[in-house]
Structure 1
């Protein structure tokens, strides 16, 4: 699988990485054996960067990864987890919790270091603490060799501008912001590059919006967004293409996005995504679909504290 450099980290990531939120049964009930098999399937396909968090399954994702990765040479894969978010409402970005969180994650996954560690969904808290307390403590652990590279993740674009305006980061992880429907992350790339920051993208399907499956009940898409996305999906279908295929191909086609994180507890999905990634993208169809999606281009929703979010349209 094609690999790209991640900013100034020296890491080379595959264009598709494995998101292990599914191992925590974060979105649906799962077959544990199938879910763990996904890890080996992903590695066999070259998707050897694995992204997780103690939030996913409240630790279950990390625990199952510790089992799934037994016997796999540590230098054959890259591993990233997060800290600070531990339930839907429980956040703790204190220096003390940084140390505890990293130590627990390492123990769960049975490894001695993390290649990447991210502050998870910082839009839910006072970001001043992230800059003044959380990241400095993560840098201490970095010097000890427990963490190789430090970064932040979250939904609004504003969080990356805020933190990078006050301190350095090695990497960032954004989701739902480089898709067929929303390309706001691409607008931020020149700023991120100027800071030497590695760019990771996640969720090319925008939580099923760009698929032929029903949206989850918690999806915040407005009626206009849902209706427009369905029109785009039907247009793809008329051309003999699954919109999910086009969405995935589009999200990995931009070389500025080092990797795109996708996850599933179904090994067949992981194989299918790798197959799609190897196929040439239909640029004419991309143009037609984005024309259909134009009324909802860069539509986004509010996540976390209002003052941490992007200005409304």
Structure 2
């Protein structure tokens, strides 16, 4: 692979969350939900190649099964070449299993202490409350107060929230600025809301930065959890059958033009979101990582003219553009 790095390599990171690299290596793929045998994935080589190309940050979670353990072992193996202060570690807390959440302060603290051990580190650069829409607001605020305490103790350096409904993420991010024990969040991670099919997040970007006084906004799942690719959509995907069918029609359309839908979607999401924040990549093998880096440079250097095809794709999605799905419990906002 002959791509130039997207950022500095093997130098100390600043530690400031605003300076996260443009791309992060996502850890959700190291999980049985996405891969039948995640332990067999080449985690060490993915990290080595990613770090050598300036992608000096990982994003994981205890909810992702063995992900933290797999990545922690890989980081331990790579420590001579990549000391701890040359990359960022981002993880999450609060979501235990599919329908199991524990946002109690004691559970939040215990989860983070376990993550430190699993990831072979004595501090975490950023920790999110995981999928906040499944928990009542009082529980969210209690957990965020504990994260603020952990930040004050130096155990974590930044904290924030993650989830799917953008309006609820925005509601919480702005509300906590008025709660002295919490204050402004450092970061928010939104997923499946800034991509080729759904750009709901776009209208909230300025609001997050100006009204919630956010330091960093991040975009995850730019292929919308496997929806935007020619391969089979994962069985757990919550999209409507009609949206899944429309996506398959779009994949056939792009294939007819000699373009893989996932490549087009990757170029589009990275290129469009780059001025606003960082993007989390989920790659399961070296080929996917190399392709993602290639698509990054295609987007940045505008090596591919996608305008006409993008217009065709949006027409093909039709009424399914910006279609979302229900996630979490009902909140009065």
Report the TM-score when normalising by structure 1. Answer: 0.90
- Indicate conservation of the 8 Å contact 2:103/2:143, yes or no: yes
Task: List 4+ stretches of structure 1 deviating above 3 A.
Answer: 8-11
**Aligned partner (choices 197, 205, 209) of residue 227 of structure 2:** 209
**1:111 to partner: Cα distance:** 0.5
Alignment pair present for 1:48 and 2:71: no
- Indicate conservation of the 8 Å contact 1:34/1:267, yes or no: no
- Indicate conservation of the 8 Å contact 1:30/1:265, yes or no: no
- Kindly report which structure 2 residues correspond to 1:1-313, keeping only aligned pairs within 5 A, or say none: 1-2=5-6, 9-30=16-37, 32-36=39-43, 37-57=45-65, 60-70=66-76, 71=79, 72-131=82-141, 133-167=142-176, 168-194=184-210, 195-197=212-214, 198-254=216-272, 255-279=274-298, 280=302, 281=304, 282-307=306-331
**1:170 to partner: Cα distance:** 0.9
- Indicate conservation of the 8 Å contact 1:83/1:118, yes or no: yes
CA distance in 2, matches of 1:162, 1:209: 27
**1:256 to partner: Cα distance:** 4.1
- Indicate conservation of the 8 Å contact 1:232/1:289, yes or no: yes
Residues 193-220 of structure 1, C-alpha deviations (whole Å, 9 max, x = no match): 1123111000111122110001111222
- Indicate conservation of the 8 Å contact 2:17/2:186, yes or no: no
- Indicate conservation of the 8 Å contact 1:199/1:256, yes or no: no
Distance change in 2, residues 1:130/1:256 (3 Å): farther
> Could you say what the CA RMSD is over the residues aligned between the two structures, in angstroms?
2.0
CA distance in 1, matches of 2:163, 2:25: 18
CA distance in 1, matches of 2:310, 2:22: 19
- Aligned residues, how many? 303
CA distance in 2, matches of 1:135, 1:21: 23
Structure 2: tracts of 5 or more residues without a match: 8-14, 177-183
- Indicate conservation of the 8 Å contact 2:136/2:331, yes or no: no
CA distance in 1, matches of 2:17, 2:331: 34
**1:164 to partner: Cα distance:** 2.0
CA distance in 1, matches of 2:294, 2:266: 11
- Indicate conservation of the 8 Å contact 1:40/1:68, yes or no: no
Structure 2 residue matching 1:118: 3-state secondary structure = strand
**1:257 to partner: Cα distance:** 3.7
Structure 1: tracts of 5 or more residues without a match: none
**1:137 to partner: Cα distance:** 1.1
Distance change in 2, residues 1:34/1:165 (3 Å): closer
Q: Once structures 1 and 2 are overlaid, which stretch shifts more, 32-41 or 201-210? A: 32-41
Residues 162-203 of structure 1, C-alpha deviations (whole Å, 9 max, x = no match): 212321211100100001110001111121011231110001
**1:26 to partner: Cα distance:** 3.0
Structure 1 residue matching 2:111: 3-state secondary structure = helix
CA distance in 2, matches of 1:67, 1:33: 13
